[in-house]
Structure 1
Amino acid sequence: MWLNKKQLNDSAIREYRQTLKRVTPNYLVIDGLFDQASLDKVVDILQHSQHWKTQKHTYAALYVDDKQWQDASDQQRFVKRDVWQRSAINSADLNVQHLESTNIALDFLNYLRSNEFMAILSEIFTVRLTDENVADPLINTNYFRLSNSDFVSEHADDSPGREVCMLLYLNKDWSNSAGGELVFSGKHNRPIYISPLYNRCVLFDPASEGSEHWVKSLNKEFTHQFRYNVTSWYWSQ
């Protein structure tokens, strides 16, 4: 249901492995990895405002509250964005039809942590990925959105045992003039810019050289637009 198998045949996986070895940072951009009709249904669910809550990180501490955020300097703040709330689907004010349709958004998140999908990533990156020793796998895969007042400043995603990071963009008819590009620091001060186009998947090794990254802000004229993506982190034993 979820995968476009044409992007995962043996020759494609060989090419992905070769690409990882020759680029800095070690990253892949795969367009059309997932079934578009299924993603369309997910995107419809993401438009419901009751599913979202603002999330804030500083370099000193993650998941800070409003007081901690206000006390932090601008230089300490590195993430302000909305995170999708799984718990919102149990809200009493949602009708049965909406609850049933929301299940597809949850199903997709669950698929991204399935043995099947992690086996595919393991094959591409030639490392065994598993949730066996991950305390709370669910917090490692979720939907996020950014408005033009939000930001993701430069940071690294490397952490002991974290082998692969995945970003999947869910932005239909995205305009390049909107901004919102993912930027890797790259090698020799040559940043790499990747537009957040619909059904574009970026996979990278967070420990590789030049994998520090940030998101270009949305341009000010796009005041009523959000940039949507899934972020997922994967671990070895």
Structure 2
Amino acid sequence: MWLNQEKITDASIRTYRQLLVSSCPNHVVIDGLFDEDKLDRVMKVLHHPSRWQTQKHTYAALYVDDDEWDNTEHEHRFVRRDIWLRNENLAKPDNTLPHCNKVASEFLSYLRGDEFMSVLSRIFDVTLTDKHVGDPQLNTNFFRLSTNDFVEQHADDSPGREVCMLLYLNKAWQDDAGGELVFLGQNEESVNVAPLYNRCVLFDPSSIGSEHLVKRLNAGLVDVYRYNVTSWYWSE
């Protein structure tokens, strides 16, 4: 069981729903939603350096190559970060990892499974489904940021997209490390969320003030990464 059952009682779901609809943007922060021992096993996989590939987006195009990136003005660069390579995306079998490390892939599959999507559906009071999603795997994965990386201001709204989920995987994260999620909010009142371990942020990407960015990591951090899962969900 991936979920912490104490966090998904009927009373808890009602509380999350109330917080969601009363906040700007419509969001809720849930600490300790998942089983921490299992997340610790996932992190052993994510710390392996061979499973990551740099991903670059501009405001004009996604997944640009190095030449296009170099020819893009800095203010038009939107994302630079590492994306985790699933087993099927590796050029050859990764024999350097024990077989049990498939736990990371299993967790991603769980996040798109009926049980977890049912919990999200109850919180957001909408039926979520992947039946109209061409490749669900593209919408759930691990990412990491270093001091050289960034996620600039953007919106995640898209027709039919009802829920965005961010799960942070950073133990002992320091207050001065940077890396906070920042929602623009309303009336110049931004909302900052620290990327603490096993902290889940759920938000409605179409709600007022849901545009967001990630504060850059402190330039003095060496060999430190900010890890998270990002996942998007659609309704029927």
What residue number does 1:31 align with?
A: 31
What residue number does 2:79 align with?
A: 79
Post-superposition offset of 1:62 = 0.8
Task: Determine whether 1:91 maps to 2:92.
Answer: yes
What residue number does 1:48 align with?
A: 48
What residue number does 2:68 align with?
A: 68
Post-superposition offset of 1:224 = 1.2
Unaligned runs of 5+ in 1: none
Counterpart amino acid of residue 45 in structure 1: V
The runs of 4+ residues in structure 1 deviating greater than 4 Å are none
Q: Residue 18 of structure 1 aligns to a residue in which SS?
A: helix
Q: Which moved further from structure 2: 24-33 or 86-95? A: 86-95
Task: Determine whether 1:57 maps to 2:57.
Answer: yes
| Aligned-partner Cα distance in 2 for 1:142–1:21 | 27
| Aligned-partner Cα distance in 1 for 2:85–2:196 | 23
Q: CA 1:35/1:180 → structure 2, altered by over 3 Å: closer, same or farther? A: same
Tell me how large the CA RMSD over aligned residues is: 1.1
Q: Aligned runs of 1:194-213 on 2, under 5 Å?
A: 194-213=193-212
Counterpart amino acid of residue 95 in structure 2: L
Residue by residue, what CA displacement relative to the aligned partner does 1:155-185 show, whole Å, maximum 9, x if unpaired?
0000001000000000011111111000000
| Aligned-partner Cα distance in 2 for 1:223–1:36 | 26
What residue number does 1:100 align with?
A: 99
Post-superposition offset of 1:99 = 4.1
| Aligned-partner Cα distance in 2 for 1:222–1:60 | 30
Q: CA 1:193/1:142 → structure 2, altered by over 3 Å: closer, same or farther? A: same
What residue number does 1:231 align with?
A: 230
Post-superposition offset of 1:93 = 5.2
Q: CA 1:92/1:19 → structure 2, altered by over 3 Å: closer, same or farther? A: closer
| Aligned-partner Cα distance in 1 for 2:77–2:100 | 36
Q: Residue 176 of structure 1 aligns to a residue in which SS?
A: coil
Q: Give the share of equivalent positions with the same residue, in percent.
A: 57
TM-score by length of 1: 0.97
Q: Residue 56 of structure 1 aligns to a residue in which SS?
A: strand
Counterpart amino acid of residue 44 in structure 2: D
Counterpart amino acid of residue 44 in structure 1: K
Q: Aligned runs of 1:52-201 on 2, under 5 Å?
A: 52-87=52-87, 91-92=92-93, 94-95=95-96, 98-201=97-200
Contact 1:45–1:101 (CA<8 Å) still a contact in 2?
no
| Aligned-partner Cα distance in 1 for 2:100–2:62 | 32
Q: Residue 38 of structure 1 aligns to a residue in which SS?
A: helix
Counterpart amino acid of residue 108 in structure 1: F
Post-superposition offset of 1:92 = 4.0
Q: Residue 105 of structure 1 aligns to a residue in which SS?
A: helix
| Aligned-partner Cα distance in 2 for 1:99–1:26 | 41
Give the total of aligned pairs. Answer: 235
Contact 1:109–1:141 (CA<8 Å) still a contact in 2?
yes
Q: Which moved further from structure 2: 67-76 or 165-174? A: 67-76
Q: Residue 130 of structure 2 aligns to a residue in which SS?
A: coil
| Aligned-partner Cα distance in 1 for 2:82–2:41 | 20
Contact 1:25–1:208 (CA<8 Å) still a contact in 2?
yes
Q: Residue 6 of structure 1 aligns to a residue in which SS?
A: helix
What residue number does 2:2 align with?
A: 2
